Amino acid sequence: MTATNTGTFDARYADYLRYRKALAVTPPRARAIVAEAQPHAQALLADLARHVGPDGLLPVEPRVIPAAQGRYGYLLPAWPEPDKRPVPLYVVPSFGLLAYLWRGSIGEPEGERAAVTERFLSGERLWVGLANDVLQPFVPAPPAGTYRMYRHHALMLYCATTWLPPVSRDGWLRLYDRGARRAIARHRLAAMRDPIAWLDAADARASAFYDSYGARVSTEDTARAFLAEPEHEEYTLFFSVSNIGISALAAQSRRQDADAHQGWLRHMVNVAHADPDFLVGAVSAYIRTSR
């Protein structure tokens, strides 16, 4: 690096360290989030008695582990093993790297930079990151090989976002929408004949990157080295396409009558999510209307 580049990177790394500290995960914090998410997740599930344990709770056990033991290191800081009971929800000690890089996908809205950064540092994205995994293991999955993070997992992230207080919920949905429109413009998705094919391929690239690279980013030295490297497009694509999926779902949600909204969302969770083409129509419509 040149002296100028070194100074720029040092400032960027110092900024990242704020995220690492603010979004640290301890066992008590993880347990508290899982407990807070329980009633929200239960309210969406059909045949709840089949899922809850003798204590009346969904059997999800958060386990904070060193990042070096994590399947995806700091790149994907939480993941459940949905086929086990109770469900182990593995969590590495910080959501800082994911949140810091997701923040970059939103861009720099004029006059709002500090407010956007403050929201990412608030801990709300950490809360959503764990709370959504209380719901996910009990939702019918699509056939093997057809799951797409930006469409299927978007439902989990959207649901958990709606469990935040209204001001926070609306703030996050605005940020996702801003990031989605930025991605649509950057990749010229509205001009494509088949943007779903492009998005599915981008999603597959991001997932493959997690699988092949994530475990390498498991210490502070490797996180620093990761930030110092040129942009990993495969990884940052995950944020771009996720913003689109969440925003398409939010747009579809706004078209529901208030009285029917909960029934619609329960249908999405218990029935529609199992479709390999889940959210394809909503994503296509969102892209068309983003011009």
Give residue-wise pLDDT tens across range 74-123: 999 999 999 999 999 999 999 999 999 999 899 877 778 888 999 999 99
**Domain assignment of residue 94, given as a range:** 3-288
H helix intervals, the chain: 3-22, 27-44, 96-106, 113-121, 124-135, 154-162, 166-186, 195-213, 220-228, 233-254, 261-270, 280-288
Q: Give the type of residue at 131.
A: A
Q: pLDDT: is 5 or 84 the higher one?
A: 84
Instruction: Give me the mean pLDDT over the 166-173 stretch.
Output: 97
pLDDT digits (tens, 9 = 90+) for 201-259: 999 999 999 899 999 999 999 999 999 987 788 888 999 999 999 999 999 999 999 99
Structural domain count of the chain = 1
